[in-house]
Amino acid sequence: MRLRDKRCLITGGSRGLGRALVTTFARHGARVAFTYSTHDGDAAEAARLVEAAGGAASRVFKGSVADPAHVKATVDALAAEWGGLDVLVNNAAVTQVLPISLLEEADWDLVMDTNVKGAYLMTRAALRHMIRRRAGHVLMIGNFASERVIEAPAHYAASKAALRGLTDALAREVGRHGVRVNLLAPGLLDVGMSRALPQHRQDEYVARAPLGRLGRAEEVAEFAAFLCSDESAFTTAAKVVVDGGL
Amino acid sequence: MPDERLLHETTSLCATCLDAVPARVVATPAGEVWMRKACPAHGEQAARLSTDAAWYEATRAIAPRPSPPPRVAREVERGCPFDCGPCASHAQRVRMPVVTITSACDLACPICYVHNKNDDAFHMPPDEFARVLERLVADAGGELDLINLTGGEPTLHPRLLDLVRLCREAGVRRVSICSHGLGLAKDPDLLAGLAALEARIALSFDTFDAGVDAELKGVRSVAQKLRCLELLDRAGVDTTLIPVMTRGRNDHEIGAILDLALRTACVRHVEVHTVTYAGQGGTSFDRSGRISMVEVLERIAETTGGLLGPADFVPSPSAHPLCYQIAYLLVNPRGGPPVPFTRFLARDDLYAALADHLYLEPGPRLERALQDAIDRLWAQGDDSRALGLLNDLLRTLFPPGRPLERAEALRAAERAVKAVYVHSHMDAETFDVERAYLCCDANVRTDGTQVPVCNDNVLYRDKEPRFMATPRAWGPRAGGRRVLPVVG
């Protein structure tokens, strides 16, 4: 029970890695809230799984992380209900497989708004409460696309690389307030985008990875739980890649 | 003949006794290509192979990638085409395994190029089919891409659904069933069962003209075939239309048939066959109908208003270049004419992307070729429809919100393209062992032997009691000692 009674907000928690994060955190004793943007059925299922994992009823907020009003309402509601926030996981992200030649400004803005601006807005809102308490942890969910030389959509890779900079800068800026900021960069997982990739892309990944397989969302979620726990209290500004050794 | 230019020599068959005879393939002063040969017993024979010698030579010069079969069933004893199994000389692995599951057929088409038997009809039992399947899957390294069930008329097999189910359980990706469609149009349960098993239908469709239909198929079935296609479309069954082209009868309709295919969502491919003079019907069909591959390509260009031209086709790297010509088209989901791949991909790139499969499959080569095409079109400032369609396709395959499952993505990709295959079968008159060596379509028998389909149609099938009430005997000189070329 690494996260017993920790008040955790996870963005993009309804499916894929986000769903694994909310259920794993609940299993580790956390009080879990999550956001989602579109699919009500997925969110309901994730909430059910949180309860099945032994967690208290989760708090669920629908909206875009790029929408300041949604962000403010979410964090304010949790602060009012829980009295503060111990952990923020910036997991919400979108991607599109597009070559630079087809990548229009609107595509760029969509990815940057969700993946970078969303993380900034959520983090800034959460930090007010964390700094006040002089404790807290912000975990950015990056991607191996920003850590390794692989073919990835340019806007997506750029957005995930931006989170590295955000992690470094914030860790230095808010460390004196007792707030830690880390980044966890998963490799190709058995959920999310990998399921739409052509088989040969997956095969190529598996062939290159020393562990010879895709990652499981739960493996990444367990590592995230460790990073957000007090067991890693001396860890900040870390960029941890969990990709099977690619 | 004087003034004829020798293009190559080969071994062919005597059209009468089916014994091997040496043959010369020549270009005539009129620019045509003819095969000339002489049988010691039946005299000189000639058949036109092509109306365009330049096209024939340029196409024949494209050498397919060597890809020998994983297993040799017979050593070379009598020489091609009398040692099929495959023999040690065969140079191409099977890409399209064909299993004849029944000898029964309720039509008697004048152009039928196989032999069928309705009295005491043969229906392959499921356990026998399972053995065939098991061997095919093993030969394919555990993952069989494609299998084609044929006949006769496969829908007359009383346990067709069981056979398809066996294919599904064996993990075969595409199960296609040849059919004239008349039974499917009347049997909604069978059609629903096939749809549920995600079987694909290869529907013969030669003409919109009832008179031509009667001439080619012996029936007036156009309305029933269109009804069948409508039902297949409604059930979402992936369909291949198979028109057999004959010169002067239905070749002017090819554009209309392609238009039907483009308008009908369930149609993935059109596979145009050139009429072949083999089997129970074809052997005696009027020879004026013979049409060559390049003529079909020309008719397609003429009857589609240039939508597709000969330059839009490439051979299959898995077969002899004179056997298959393939064009792919990017479909506009909002309507409007499709765009042939060769308008945005180099022909060499399309040819390379077809390697290892008879059909275009997602893979690194295709992905890279499409990426290059997109970048090139964009960099050139080309405001082409192709770039717009490729853009739409990518955004369909990879929506930003919720990723599609791979199967969904594959389905969406398949729906965005259509293909036109022109497949030129050989008969005894046009038989060329050079092409037989490189055949990738084989009829697979229960004992595991695999016989290239043209060899099967011309030589092997009529020797089998399953398909003939009185099986024919091999000729006394079949595969025997050769004589030197004597024609010219």
Q: Which residues of chain B lie closer than 8 angstroms to A98, CB-CB?
A: 394-395, 398
Contact yes or no for B394 and A97 at CB 8 A: yes
Q: How confident is the model at residue B475 (pLDDT cuts 50, 70, 90)?
A: confident
Please say if the pLDDT value at position B488 is more than 80.
Answer: no
Distance from CA of B372 to the nearest CA of A (A): 10
Q: How far apart are CA B71 and CA A185, in angstroms?
A: 47
Name the residue ranges covered by the structural domains of chain A: 7-242
Residue B288 carries which DSSP code? Answer: G
Please say if the pLDDT value at position B308 is more than 60.
Answer: yes
Q: Is B248 helix (H, G, I), strand (E, B) or coil?
A: coil
The active-site residue out of A36, A120, A156, A205 is A156
Question: Prior bond to B152 cis, omega within 30?
Answer: yes
Q: Are the beta carbons of A114 and A122 closer than 8 angstroms?
A: no
Q: How confident is the model at residue B336 (pLDDT cuts 50, 70, 90)?
A: confident
What is the average pLDDT across B32-43?
A: 96
Closest-approach residue (CA) in chain B for A192: B403
φ, ψ (nearest 5 deg) of residue B373: -65, -45
What is the average pLDDT across B52-70?
A: 93
Contact yes or no for A96 and B400 at CB 8 A: yes
Residue A67 CA: distances (Å) to CA of A64, A113, B471: 5, 9, 79
For chain B, say whether A12 makes contact (Cβ under 8 Å): no
Question: Across the interface, which of A38, A192, A204 has its CB nearest the CB of B403?
Answer: A192
Q: Can you say whether residue B289 is alpha, beta or left, with left for phi > 0 and alpha for psi between -120 and 50 degrees?
A: alpha
Average pLDDT of chain B?
A: 93
Q: Which residues of chain B lie closer than 8 angstroms to A97, CB-CB?
A: 394, 397-398
Please say if the pLDDT value at position B439 is more than 50.
Answer: yes
Say what the pLDDT of residue B332 is. 86
Report the CATH number of the A7-242 domain: 3.40.50.720
Residue showing tokens 């990815």: A111
Beta bridge partners of A182: A139
As for the ipTM of the complex, it is 0.79
Closest-approach residue (CA) in chain B for A111: B400
Interface A-B, measured as beta-carbon pairs within 8 A, has a size of: 63
Q: Which residues of chain B lie closer than 8 angstroms to A39, CB-CB?
A: 402
Closest-approach residue (CA) in chain B for A100: B375
Please say if the pLDDT value at position B404 is more than 90.
Answer: no
Q: Are the beta carbons of B354 and B317 closer than 8 angstroms?
A: yes
Q: How far apart are CA B221 and CA B139, in angstroms?
A: 39
Average pLDDT of chain A?
A: 93
Distance from CA of B400 to the nearest CA of A (A): 5
Q: Which residues of chain B lie closer than 8 angstroms to A102, CB-CB?
A: 374, 378, 390-391, 394
Say what the pLDDT of residue B14 is. 96
For chain B, say whether A192 makes contact (Cβ under 8 Å): yes
Beta bridge partners of B35: B25, B47
Closest-approach residue (CA) in chain A for B370: A99
Closest CA to B154 of B232, B225, B224, B102: B102
Distance from CA of A193 to the nearest CA of B (A): 6
Active site residue A156: yes
